[in-house]
């Protein structure tokens, strides 16, 4: 039997891998990895700077606000400006994440990243052995790449690219997979607007790092050459319609779920429902590296409502693990859970410290 423990992972759980936090996406000098932008990316950021200037946010590129705040303002625009700027944001987001992951998995001499790899492997082995559940708010694929992509169930049916009948993840009763619920999507999930299905692309299938790859949708019976960050070329229709036919897009979604369009709600609703069921049945919830619970209303409501409906509510343990130099993050959590009469155990430490203290029996 499983331990009914649910882990919620925020950006802090991937920080040691070199992945940026929300307020670091536009600062390409931050962190141990320099983000080398090409000319198009420089133009994209300049476009965003001009946009922010127009809305009375006269700030330089280096002083751009955190990524989610910019995205939220973009979602308030009318089409087609909303689509234009959202494409730029997704381009920046996906390219930086995949570039960071490539550096992470090839970083044999980076001591910090090697420590994170060892900790992540130990953590996932512990989760697997205890049959725990992971809910992640991150877009990266550090978890899947570390432990094997076929070892997870994502809370919905996701089909493996180029496979006509094989789903990447079956329902848990049909297998013995780790439950991994990615509430905001993933840089390697792609939605086909023709057949309404999500497909999983292995990053290793790309022809060049985070640039182009092949996509096959067996329901549509079409193959595509595409840029991972949005633009899709349907090879069979290049001559018919001038070359561009975009029915597929990467599934990375903003924090504010109320501003999703209908297709995005359809993509992730099953995932959120699956996460809610796990939280309602948990006897222990551990939140790691997540400092944004006060501004992420949808995730906060999900957790609070699930706790209020938890069948083990009286004995439910809640633990929060996050570095907190001045005590503000701990205070935020205490205030939020005090409203539902729940106490938390707060640990002022990193993901790596948590793993070293809790995975001593895992080798």
What confidence tens digit (pLDDT) does each residue in 216-251 have? 666 666 666 555 544 444 444 444 444 444 456 788
Q: Is the pLDDT of residue 169 over 80?
A: no
Residue among 359, 360, 329 at smallest CA distance from 123: 359
SS (H, E, C) 260-284: CCHHHHHHHHHHHHHHHHHHHHCCE
Residue 149 inside a domain? The answer is yes
pLDDT averaged over every residue in the chain: 77
- Given a cut of 70, whether residue 319 has pLDDT beyond it is yes
Residue 143: the pLDDT is: 93
The more confidently predicted of residues 168 and 358 is 358
Strand segments, DSSP code E, in the chain are 5-9, 133-136, 152-153, 159-160, 178-182, 185-192, 197-200, 212-217, 222-227, 232-234, 248-252, 284-288, 317-321, 345-347
Both tokens of residue 317?
A: 């343990």
CA-derived radius of gyration, the chain: 20
How many CB atoms are located within 10 Å of the residue 27 CB? 15
Residue 272 lies in a domain: yes
pLDDT band at 123 (very low <50, low <70, confident <90, very high): very high
Instruction: Please write the tens of the pLDDT for every residue from 14-62.
Output: 998 888 877 777 665 443 333 334 555 566 667 766 776 665 555 555 5
- pLDDT on residue 31: 37
Between residues 189 and 135, the one the model is more confident about = 135
* 328-338 residue pLDDT tens: 999 999 999 99
User: Is the residue at 363 inside a domain?
Assistant: no
Distance CA 138, CA 182 (A): 7
- Give the pLDDT confidence of 341-362 residue by residue, as tens digits: 999 999 999 999 999 988 755 4
328: Cβ–Cβ under 8 A, 6 or more apart, which residues? none
| Count of domains for the chain | 1
Q: Does residue 123 lie in a domain region?
A: yes
**pLDDT given for residue 207 in this prediction:** 47
Q: Between 18 and 165, whose confidence is greater? A: 18
Residues 249, 232: Cα–Cα separation, whole Å: 8
What phi and psi, each to the nearest 5 degrees, are found at residue 68? -65, -35
Cβ atoms of 73 and 67 closer than 8 Å: no
Domain around 88: 5-358
């Amino acid at each position: 039997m499983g331990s009914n423990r649910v882990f919620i992972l925020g950006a802090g759980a991937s920080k040691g891998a070199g992945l940026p936090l929300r307020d670091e996406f536009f600062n390409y000098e931050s962190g141990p990895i320099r983000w080398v932008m090409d000319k198009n990316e420089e133009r994209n950021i300049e476009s965003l700077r001009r946009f922010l200037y127009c809305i009375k946010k006269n700030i330089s590129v280096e002083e751009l606000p955190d990524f989610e705040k910019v995205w939220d303002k973009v979602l308030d625009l009318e089409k087609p400006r909303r689509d234009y700027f959202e494409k730029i944001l997704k381009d920046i987001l996906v390219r930086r994440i995949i570039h960071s992951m490539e550096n992470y998995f090839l970083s044999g001499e980076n001591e910090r990243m090697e420590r994170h790899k060892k900790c992540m492997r130990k953590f996932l082995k512990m989760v697997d052995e205890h049959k725990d559940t992971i809910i992640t708010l991150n877009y990266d694929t550090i978890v899947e790449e570390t432990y094997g992509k076929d070892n997870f169930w994502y809370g919905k049916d996701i089909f493996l690219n180029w496979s006509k009948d094989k789903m990447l993840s079956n329902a848990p009763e049909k297998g013995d997979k780790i439950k991994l619920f990615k509430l905001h999507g993933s840089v390697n999930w792609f939605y086909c607007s023709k057949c309404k299905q999500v497909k999983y692309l292995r990053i290793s299938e790309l022809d060049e790092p985070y640039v182009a790859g092949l996509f096959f949708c067996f329901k549509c019976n079409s193959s595509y050459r595409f840029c991972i960050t949005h633009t899709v070329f349907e090879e069979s229709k290049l001559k018919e319609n001038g070359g561009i036919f975009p029915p597929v897009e990467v599934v990375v979604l903003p924090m504010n779920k109320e501003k999703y369009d209908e297709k995005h709600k359809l993509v992730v609703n099953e995932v959120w429902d699956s996460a809610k069921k796990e939280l309602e049945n948990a006897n222990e919830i551990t939140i790691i590296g997540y400092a944004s619970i006060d501004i992420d209303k949808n995730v906060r409501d999900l957790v609070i409502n699930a706790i209020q409906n938890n069948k083990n509510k009286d004995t439910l343990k809640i633990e929060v693990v996050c570095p907190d130099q001045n005590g503000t993050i701990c205070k935020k959590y205490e205030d939020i859970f005090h409203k539902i009469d729940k106490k938390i155990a707060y640990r002022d430490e990193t993901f790596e410290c948590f793993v070293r203290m809790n995975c001593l029996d895992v080798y």
